[in-house]
Structure 1
Amino acid sequence: MPAQPHKDEEAALSASDIVLVVFDGVEAIDVAGPASVFTKAEQMRPGNYRLHIASPPGGTVATNGGLSFAGTRSLRQLPDAIDTLIVAGGDEPGVRAAIVEQRISDWLAEIAPRVRRIASVCSGAFALATAGLLDGREATTHWRACDQLQALRPQVRVRRERIYVHDGPVWTSAGVTTGIELALALVEDDLGHAVAMEIARTLALPLLRGAGESQLSPTLQAQSAASHRLRELLAWIGTHPQEALSVEALAARVQMSPRHFARAFVAETGCTPARFVEQTRVAAAAQLLRRTRWPQERIASRSGFRSVDALQRAFARQHGLTPQAWRDREGRPADVQRP
């Protein structure tokens, strides 16, 4: 009678092969971010993932930041049964060389029918587009390159404002750090919301953005020309939407008179305190609508609105949708229990 495989061997056999494709000129964060997410997921739920870093020729790959990835596998050495294939992004010469000289898109077109899902981070979308894998699909890339992607491949429905886009077996994400959120979404798709949230906490993410949020963070835009004192206040507002956020309360926090504070806030951020607070609270509510099954009364309270009516009016001003319509469009998590 043949020997039964050890439990660890069974786990190794059942693990899904995750491949991150890199090339000279790749953006290091595009690789390290998703790799860290899948590594944390495997630590929390052993036996689910087996990670590979691969490049067209194999060996050492130089990133655009002076770091190197050593010992990458060549594309031809990868397992036959790849579960998830993620193409990282990088600087334009590096991406172009990978497509034109190393023919990475030809390889993608060949292997795609045998892969459960294919994804890209940032400008990695250009490799997928050149392979024809985005034709007829919604997709995104870094906001600076969206017009270029649309011009290159008119058959693609480019979504300029999305953090990531999921269309059938193809996932694409925006610039750089959104690769972390893409990877968390893939893990959530596999292992559930609770695991993805635990990884987000382990990575000390300030929040887990949904796919439908803008690539350009309102808080970051507001901080760009703000003084150090207001930059810290803007960050604090973003993590404390339930607090009293009147002009008087915010002015007291930065030790300014309400009148001087209101003038300085508009001058440095380009919007009024009330408008910024509303944007922050709507963003917090959107997170809860997507990530929980909570009723709108609880969501309104948790995101700082005094009533469901106030939440609905603010949502309509910013999104042109009711909270329920936004939730229906973005989808509800299947594994989050109603409190």
Structure 2
Amino acid sequence: MPTPTHKDEEAAVSASDVVLVAFDGVEAIDVAGPASVFSKAELLRPGSYRLHIASPSGGNVLTNGGLSFAGTCNLRQLPAAIDTLVIAGGDEPGVRAAIVDQGISGWIAEIAPGVRRIASVCSGAFALAAAGLLDGREATTHWRACDQLQALWPQVRVQRERIYVHDGPVWTSAGVTTGIELALALVEDDLGHAVSMEIARTLALPMLRGAEQPQLSQALEAQASASHRLRELVAWIGTHPQDDLSVEALAGRVQMSPRNFARAFVAETGRTPARFVEQIRVAAAAQLLRQTQWPQDRIASLSGFGSVDALQRAFARQHGLTPQAYRTHDQT
């Protein structure tokens, strides 16, 4: 048997207890998504995390989709030293019952001083707000619930167009699948960018969005009312920013004349092909700016811009700042 190294022993000692809190009516992905991220991080870096799925009463928890989490830990039986606490979201009756009837917010307020960081997925933000943890902080939740969160807790600085928000020791995320991106950000904060990216690749994520990306992607919005033919084209554009995306080339892919294609694209997606292509290319460039230290000429080329000047003009139109300012702001 190999002798444990000092590094192995250090990792084992420093393992952090991560608690994901569920309740009846919880959204299954809000729990399963972050759980998958942290478990894969543990596989990559053994000794990093100990994962616990907990609920107000312990035992089995019924999700809003009819699935069950079996054998959850009672909140009162969790380890004394919780490093990371993540509160999942769910349907409104379930969240309300967890807060009002099961006292989850009171429990959060009680243990918060001893927890290094606390996070929420989707409507789990309501439990954090009820615990007083979002007072005076920036926070987000699912786009459909942002107005309600703001109305109930005016002291919260609700950010409606964010994937996730990090304000001090508190992290909040938008909705459902954004819990995966939140968990990846937490892992990156602990273990570094390389580990986070390896998990993203393992989970076959199409891209790793940054905190300040809009909750509803440009591609998804464009696909909402498009015909099957254009929906497939929109998806293809999103993964091929470097290709020839001129009206003529795109029209050829769907076997339409350029004139008819341009009219149909505007009618079905609400934007011109040129505007949509620019949005996709800026999103691709933004991802590279967040994830690499590559120079702007390389990023411009890989994201489909003909020059750094074209990249900078497009960034100014969409973000109101330069690519370098965007990169600097995202890393602060």
TM-score range, shorter chain: over 0.9
Per-residue CA deviations over 1:3-44 (Å, capped at 9, x if unaligned) read x99998875443110000000000000000000000111111
Amino acid corresponding to residue 181 of structure 1 in structure 2: E
Residue 301 of structure 1 corresponds to which residue in structure 2? 301
The C-alpha deviation readout for 1:231-255, integer Å capped at 9, x for no partner, is 1111111111011100011111112
Cα-to-partner distance string for 1:109-156 (whole Å, 9 max, x where unaligned) = 010010010000000000000000011111000001111111111111
Structure 2 runs not aligned, ≥5 long: none
Aligned-pair CA distance for 1:105: 0.5
- SS across alignment from 1:143: coil
What amino acid does structure 2 have at the position aligned with 1:222?
A
d(CA) in 2 for partners of 1:153 and 1:27?
23
Separation in structure 2 between the aligned mates of residue 195 and residue 54 of structure 1, nearest angstrom: 26
- 1:266 maps to what in 2? 266
**TM-score scaled by length of structure 2:** 0.96
Instruction: Name the amino acid aligned to 1:200.
Output: A
Match of 1:145 in 2: 145
Partner of 1:232: 232
Query: Within 5 Å, which residues of 2 pair with 1:63-142?
Result: 63-142=63-142
What is aligned with 2:287? 287
Q: Deviations over 1:196-248 (max 9, x none)?
A: 11111100100000000000111001001111111111111111101110001
- Partner of 1:151, secondary structure, is helix
When the two chains are superposed, the root-mean-square deviation of aligned CA atoms in Å is 1.6
Secondary structure of the equivalent of 2:144?
helix
Count of residue pairs the alignment pairs up? 329
Give the drift of 1:93: 0.4
Structure 1 residue ranges without an equivalent (≥5): 333-339
Whole-Å separation in 1 of the counterparts to 2:224 and 2:6? 56
Q: What SS is found at the alignment partner of 2:211? A: coil
Distance in 2 (CA, whole Å) between partners of 1:50 and 1:61 is: 20
1:156-195 superposed matches below 5 A = 156-195=156-195
Tell me, yes or no, if structure 1 residue 209 matches structure 2 residue 209: yes
The one-letter code matched in structure 2 to 1:183 is A
Report the AA paired with residue 160 of structure 2: R
CA distance in 1 between counterparts of 2:126 and 2:256 reads 49
Matching residue of 2:330: 330
Give the 3-state SS of the residue equivalent to 2:123 in structure 1: helix
Aligned amino acid, residue 233 of structure 2 = L
How big is each residue's C-alpha offset from its partner over 1:307-327, in whole Å with a ceiling of 9 and x where there is no partner?
Answer: 111111111111111112222
Paired amino acid for 2:30: D
The one-letter code matched in structure 1 to 2:139 is A
**Partner residue of 1:317?**
317
After alignment, is 148-157 or 320-329 more displaced? 320-329
- Give, in whole Å, the separation in 1 of the partners of 2:7 and 2:301: 47
Q: Closer, same or farther in 2 for the Cα pair 1:299/1:7, shift >3 Å? A: closer
Q: TM-score, normalised by structure 1?
A: 0.94
Amino acid at match of 1:198: E
Letter in 2 for 1:258: P
| Identical positions, percent | 84
Structure 2 residue 15 is matched with structure 1 residue 15? yes
Distance 1:290 1:177 in 2: 20
Whole-angstrom distance in 1 between the partners of 2:324 and 2:135:
31
* Aligned structure 1 segments of 4 or more residues deviating by more than 2 angstroms: 4-14
SS of 1:144 mapped into structure 2:
coil
Which residue number corresponds to residue 277 of structure 2? 277
